[in-house]
A and B are shown apart, each in its own frame.
Chain A
Amino acid sequence: MALSPADVLAGLKEIVEEVAGIPAASIELGKNFTDDLEVDSLSMVEVVVAAEERFGVKIPDEKVTDLVTVGDAVDFIVNAAK
């Protein structure tokens, strides 16, 4: 099922807020997970697993390092869901 980038961004905001306690309002496409949002490596694993469950996609471990920004993650998930 196709997902819209806006839906994926909204879902990711909820996940990152739940896992890392970062206010949804400060989570934007250009934000870097590590440097801007301070999501550490263990919490990133939680974000990935939660995103897989929520969007019904598979995010392989070797792809996770490529998801540097929130926008990278949105693009990956939208494409994976096509």
Chain B
Amino acid sequence: MSQRRVVVTGLGATTPLGGDVLTTWSALLAGKSGVRTLTEEWTSLLPVSFAARVAIEPSEQMERVEIRRLDRSEQFALIASREAWKDAGSPDIDKERLGVVIASGIGGVITMLDQYDILNNKGSRLVSPHTVPMLMPNGPAANVGLELQAKAGVHTPVSACASGAEAVGYALEMIRSNRADIIVSGGVEAAVHQLPMAGFAAMKALSTRNDDPARASRPYDLDRDGFVLGEGGGVLILEEYEHAKARGAKIYCEIAGQGLTSDGYHIAAPDPDGAGVQRAIKFALRDSNLSTKDIVHLNAHATSTPAGDVAEANALRAALGVDADHVAVSATKSMTGHLLGGAGAIESVFLVKAIQDRMAPPTINIDNLDPAVTIDVVREKPRALPAGDIAALNDSFGFGGHNVVLVFKSL
């Protein structure tokens, strides 16, 4: 039996650039930054006073009562899933053939810390009975599964900043292995809070460009000094190809394969050789029956950290060889900030839009390209992608040494 093919039939997102996919995508092509100075008092405690909050608050997109029993990460998951499900035509499907795989890097950290404050200040009696369902990392997936009555399985892979991509890859395997016909897949993150920010700052991982937040996320630029924390989420509806055709669904593109490896090198630092990334790319291409010649675009992980961007660029050049010359590389975190567990998901959404519109988004804030970067970075303005059959890659890496590469191709 030939392998079941998997296509994308719906997209949803809530990001620092917009409360839906189209608004986000337009802002991305226009090179806008979603990074802003935070107004919370606690920023005075930290060396970093900015982040990329969602453009549209959940309170503008959901009912008040729904919001009070959902962690912010769960709110993002429901907002993006509702958009994606509607975009897919709200398919009428046997619920035992419908699954959900939505990741988060940290889970309901804001709920956990807020309720800890209530415990200490007001006592255990006033701790919300919703605390545990709100802080559990599988909460976003579980709430979406509950709303759609998905019964093929609800899952939450956790691999730090690779979580969102890993979720999409897990969904691909669930359909290939015939566990389901449709999966709501993606990733979310809601960690703009003083504790996670203080932790990242202590690692010297965050940019401290407090006087110019919109210019702080600058992947591949010589003066990059760390990443900018973002929040939000992205969701893709993955569907078995024949199932999608039979119901006359709008098909964006195919998700052709994935490659996963781990570094075995360091808990947080990238392997400077990028061997794990290279192997992940090799496995992803093999899994897709594609070669480096077929790849025209790549949405890079590129978080704007001094070490990470160059290690990744070197690995891409080594894995793609001379074919890297025809791969338009976009680092969209320059505009969205870094959504941690949501990053691989929104960047997959961007890749699908890039294939649909034949347009690679720009990378902003590169005043001086780091000469150590020898890949073809799309700078300042979007770049047209070729007509005909094309394929594109999304790579994501996470603390712990997780490497995930996803392959999407036109149909």
Contact = CB atoms under 8 A, between A and B. Distances in A.
A20 B65 CA distance: 6
B65 A49 contact: no
B126 A49 contact: yes
Interface string B323-357: 00000000000000000000000000000000000
Interface in A5-53: 19-21, 42-43, 45-46, 49, 52
A46 B130 CA distance: 9
A54 to B, nearest CB: 13
Interface string B192-206: 000000000000000
B14 to A, nearest CB: 22
Most interface-central of B64, B65, B125 (chain A CB within 10 A): B65
Interface string B56-74: 0000000111101100000
B63 A49 contact: no
B128 interface: yes
Contacts of A20: 65
Given A19-B68, A20-B65, A46-B129, 12 more contacts: A19-B65, A21-B63, A21-B64, A21-B66, A42-B130, A42-B133, A43-B69, A43-B129, A45-B129, A46-B130, A49-B125, A52-B125
A21 B65 contact: yes
Contacts of A46: 128-130
Contacts of B128: 46
Interface of B: 63-66, 68-69, 125-126, 128-130, 133
Main secondary structure on B side of the interface with A: helix
Contacts of A43: 69, 129
Nearest to A41: B129
Contacts of B125: 49, 52
A19 B64 CA distance: 10
A51 to B, nearest CB: 12
Interface of A: 19-21, 42-43, 45-46, 49, 52
B135 to A, nearest CB: 14
A43 B65 CA distance: 11
A21 B66 CA distance: 8
B123 to A, nearest CB: 11
A18 B305 CA distance: 45
Contacts of B69: 42-43
Nearest to B65: A21
B371 to A, nearest CB: 57
A43 B129 CA distance: 8
Contacts of A42: 69, 129-130, 133
18 contacts: A19-B65, A19-B68, A20-B65, A21-B64, A21-B65, A21-B66, A42-B69, A42-B129, A42-B130, A42-B133, A43-B69, A45-B129, A46-B128, A46-B129, A46-B130, A49-B125, A49-B126, A52-B125
Q: 7 closest pairs, A vs B, by CB?
A: A21-B65, A45-B129, A42-B129, A42-B130, A46-B129, A49-B125, A20-B65
Contacts of B133: 42
Nearest to B133: A42
